[in-house]
Amino acid sequence: MSIAAPGQLNVNESPSWGSRSVDCFEKLEQIGEGTYGQVYMAKEIKTGEIVALKKIRMDNEREGFPITAIREIKILKKLHHENVIKLKEIVTSPGPEKDEQGRPDGNKYKGGIYMVFEYMDHDLTGLADRPGMRFTVPQIKCYMRQLLTGLHYCHVNQVLHRDIKGSNLLIDNEGNLKLADFGLARSFSNDHNANLTNRVITLWYRPPELLLGTTKYGPAVDMWSVGCIFAELLHGKPIFPGKDEPEQLNKIFELCGAPDEVNWPGVSKTPWYNQFKPTRPMKRRLREVFRHFDRHALELLERMLTLDPAQRITAKDALDAEYFWTDPLPCDPKSLPKYESSHEFQTKKKRQQQRQNEEMAKRQKMQHPQQHTRLPPIQQPGQHAQMRSGPNQNLHGSQPQVAAGPSHHYGKPRGPSGGPGRYPPSGNPGGGYNHPNRGGQGGGGYGSGPYPPQGRGAPYGSSGMPGGGPRGGGGSGYGVGAPTYPQQGGPYGGSGTGRGSNMMGGNRNQQYGWQQ
Amino acid sequence: MLTGGEYSNHSRQLQPETCQTELNLPRVLCVLSSTLEKLVARNEKLVHELSQEVDGSIRIGKSLNAFHGVRAPSISIPKYLERIYKYTNCSPSCFVVGYVYIDRLTHLHPDSLVISLNIHRLLVTSVMIASKMLDDEHYNNAVYARVGGVSNAELNKLELELLFLLDFGVMVSSRVFESYCLHLEKEMVVNGTGLIKVERALASPKAMLMDEHDHNHLNHEPEILVEDNNNSNQSSPLPQILDSELTFS
């Protein structure tokens, strides 16, 4: 270890993060709210630049500085890419109060620590759920290419995102898409020898290897999530809306077929394979179910939703897929339409207003138009989706299974009218995945879930967090989203009652059952 | 705080062989202890010389002030590292990475010296952060505070201090990790201790590789288990892992 003599120059060029106070910014409005943190839209006083301020609150003394925040900061500090959210700096607020003993040298961070991000107007889920929103094919290609480019950059830099989902993909009004919320991300080494927690990635986007208990995994986990998003963009709704892990696996098997040693060598060695292997033969039905998709899109999706992670397409190869190089080509982000910027806090008001309108319309016996249906992309007539037939249909009828409360992104407030299904082109009224969790909150890129609460969080936001749910609490782009893993404890046991020591690992006791 | 006579009572001779007698301890603890003791001894000497030159006002940076105790803890560096390892069961690589942080600190704040007054707090804080970074499972700050002999509140403060002093540069690439391992091994050769290979398991944190045996090992330390388990059916009194000698001041 080298020792610098006193008085030696400090060669650190840039001003240290944390050297500036949050007072350098003027908070314009709160755009997200969570138990553990708030997100503000703010203006840097000196430059007038609009930024997003995410407050990191440290309520849990035993945990100290949230691990998710440390990880997010250290990873974002290293990543500089146009498709990765930019963490501009960290600012602190000393807070007015002195410490407990009233000592003058109290905690200078007591007032809070804020992460300063570039401001983004939307998130993908929020945008997709806008009333009347219909992405074009070049638009989807454009978003997908940016998503893959950003992810490829992360993977090249040996970072796994581990929470790819629509609400973590922020979009600005220039059409740029950026990966956000690196609170679950971590570095990996190429040999994949590390044992990592399998309790990552929001359930609906979680790959089969994690659901089967694998702890050695790599970038392929993110690619599964990308496949889910891709299919969702084309299909118009989430394709695997499982309510718990067993159901999640079942949904995957129903579409992608059951894994066996032929299509996925080694699968029978995964920790929970015997527990969850399908009891009946299940054929891969991806091509059949999505036969209306464009040929190249289907080809790419096939390779993303490959059960065996070793055979799953990489981000780099996906970028080379025919899909991105055949007509219609991905559009220039700048050519995309600009959408009115909106955030949860703002849209709450709007929704309230809308609800009143709907009520009024009802009273006037008028048929209020169904506004909140997410539409599949614009494509040639006759190409629209047939809803999947099969057992899933019953699971997600018009009857919401879980009342999660308002959750997301410009969704339709679960109002009085049942209305037609969300995907009218299918001619399948009321059927399909009319998922309850999509009702509610506006989105727009700013998260509002908490930094992960200690211990378990319920997958559908029943833990009392605003806007919980697998898609991230109320839009979580800036990473204050609801926790990803639904449960702690053994494989899907959900038995953990103790506190998790942190969101990455949970409580050792829960994991290993020391108490037993 | 930094007065002339104080540190000299606490400067210790290098005794790398002593820690080797402990079985089942990662070799990195031994190597690291010796390296840090050497560093502290060197810096103490520097402080001593400075204090004699300019009486009263020593030109030592204030960056590490938060880590300074009133007096140096009586527990030796090897024993302290051993204690952290034993009770937190963090990966051996956390000690290498903790060392990387301390080294980065001295580069980022060259006027600050690692001395016997601050080395313990620096160690427990840096190893804790390293464990948070590396181990998907690790103990929380409350446990590290008890193990380290500081209050939870103080450790939280030190954690933030260190993170900000490091400018949140807590990422350690495998290349950098490897180079620090080599550096530590070289130190031992220079010491005449002979070649000691440091555990290289950056990508495979021990906490993640714990097998049943490891659990059993930890089960023999019930106080720690109770501590990390806030379960309401646990009515046992709080553990007494906080030796009196470890209550720093």
* Domain limits, chain B: 27-51+59-218
Compute the 3-state secondary structure of chain B and give helix, strand, coil in percent, each to the nearest 5.
Answer: 60, 0, 40
Q: Are A257 and A265 in contact (CB under 8 A)?
A: no
Residue type present at position B220 = H
Q: Are A486 and A210 in contact (CB under 8 A)?
A: no
For chain B, give the number of residues: 249
Among A221, A231, A172, A171, CA closest to A194: A221
DSSP A378: B
Specify the range with the lowest mean pLDDT, choosing from A55-59, A342-346, A445-449.
A445-449
* Residue A80: CB atoms within 10 Å: 11
Specify the range with the lowest mean pLDDT, choosing from A89-93, A108-112, B87-91, B125-129.
A108-112
Highest average pLDDT, of A74-88, A444-458, B224-238, comes from A74-88
Q: What proportion of chain A, given as a percentage, has pLDDT over 90?
A: 41
Q: Which among B31, B97, B123, B156 is the top mutation candidate for probing chain A, defined by the most A β-carbons within 10 Å of its own β-carbon? A: B156
B43 chain-A contacts, CB cut-off 8 A: 3
B178 CA to chain A: closest CA distance, Å? 13
Q: Which among A9, A70, A501 is the top mutation candidate for probing chain B, defined by the most B β-carbons within 10 Å of its own β-carbon? A: A501
C-alpha dist (Å) from residue B112 to A5, A9, B58:
9, 12, 11
- Tens-digit pLDDT profile for residues A332-361: 998 888 887 655 455 555 666 676 776 666
CA distance A202 to A483: 8
B98: which 2 tokens?
């903790």
Strands A87-93 and A20-21: parallel
pLDDT at residue number B202: 56
CA distance A106 to A118: 31
Return phi, psi of residue B16, to 5°: -60, -30
B157 CA to chain A: closest CA distance, Å? 7
Domains belonging to chain A, first-starting first, are 22-119 (3.30.200.20), 137-325 (1.10.510.10)
Cβ within 8 Å, pair B129-A7: no
pLDDT at residue number A57: 75
Q: Inform me whether the pLDDT recorded for A89 exceeds 80.
A: yes
pTM of the model: 0.68
Cβ within 8 Å, pair B231-A515: yes
Give binding residues of A for ATP as ranges. Answer: 54
The answer for B 172-201 residues in CB contact with A (under 8 A) is 173-174
Angle at A485 between CA A479 and CA A488, to 5 degrees: 135
B69: which 2 tokens?
């105790």
Q: Given A189, A504, A507, which is nearest B203 (Cβ)?
A: A189
B206 chain-A contacts, CB cut-off 8 A: none
CA distance B144 to B151: 9
pLDDT at residue number A400: 35
- In 3-state terms, what secondary structure has residue B122? helix
- Tens-digit pLDDT profile for residues A364-373: 654 444 444 5
Cβ within 8 Å, pair A196-B208: yes
The answer for B 67-96 residues in CB contact with A (under 8 A) is none
Among A456, A484, A498, A493, CA closest to A186: A484
Q: What is the CATH number of domain B27-51+59-218?
A: 1.10.472.10
Q: Are A484 and A202 in contact (CB under 8 A)?
A: yes
Question: A114 pairs with which residues across the strands?
Answer: A55, A91
**Mean pLDDT for back-to-back runs of 10 residues, chain B (249 residues):** 37 42 76 93 88 65 86 92 93 94 93 92 96 84 94 93 90 89 85 69 41 33 28 35 51
Verify whether residue A163 is a known catalytic residue.
yes
C-alpha dist (Å) from residue A126 to A17, A84, A120, A133, B113:
31, 18, 12, 10, 51
Catalytic residue among A163, A181, A222, A294: A163
Angle at A24 between CA A19 and CA A27, to 5 degrees: 130
DSSP A284: B
* Residue B246: CB atoms within 10 Å: 19
Q: Which chain B residue's Cα is nearest to A195?
A: B208
Q: Is the ipTM of this complex over 0.95?
A: no
